[in-house]
Copies of this chain bind each other. A is one copy, B any other.
Amino acid sequence: MNARDSDLGYALLALLQQAPRSGYDLRKLFETNPIGHFSDSPGAIYPALGRLRRRGWIEPLSGGAPSGRRRQALRPTALGRRAFRAWLQLPVEHKDVAHGLDGLVLRFAFMSENLERRAIVRFLDSLREAVRAHLGNLERFRRVEAARLPPSGRLAFDSGVAGLRGYLRWAERALREIKR
């Protein structure tokens, strides 16, 4: 078994850490909230919960095999809480930035409940540096290649650059807000 679970797995783990919930509760959360990053389909959520259980990261709130299909609230185990904190503290890597910052923002979303301020500041600092470095790459590339791109290709490229600049501003704002 892989040491690391999917983003969906960690998102579920995080939500179970906020309060015990059933698989159905989790589905409804994804269904009603407009962020839409994760699917609310049972075919995604129940297999993910199965993985977490097999890893020993979550357990049913009240033990004993349930008969039939009754609702069963789940909560993280001590092992699960450790695994979750370890995930939050993973270093920021270049590929996390290159393929879209969604995974990093997801991790950040749960930090204030689970990490001390210093660790969050460290995270945002290294995120900022990684974004700056990638922006440098993109701008170098643009100087060399922009002339070769068709108009809409260039505009599409610029939307990526603008998005990254937006994340930079956001990280700075988040830093100010966290430090308060």
Contacts and interface: CB of A to CB of B under 8 A. Distances in A.
Contacts of A36: 95, 98-99
Contacts of A167: 159, 163
Contacts of A110: 150, 152-153
A116 interface: no
A33 interface: yes
What DSSP secondary structure best describes chain A's contact surface?
helix
A153 to B, nearest CB: 5
Nearest to A99: B36
Contacts of A177: 151, 155
A96 to B, nearest CB: 11
Copies of this chain per assembly: 2
Contact of A134 (B34, B98, B99, B160): B34
A16 to B, nearest CB: 15
B34 A137 contact: yes
Given A159-B170, A162-B170, A166-B166, A109 B152 contact: yes
A78 interface: no
Nearest to A167: B159
Contact of A138 (B34, B95, B158): B34
B150 A112 contact: yes
A152 B108 contact: yes
A124 to B, nearest CB: 10
A173 B162 CA distance: 12
Interface of A: 33-37, 95, 98-100, 102, 105-106, 108-113, 120, 134, 137-138, 141, 145, 150-153, 155-160, 162-163, 166-167, 169-170, 173-174, 177-178
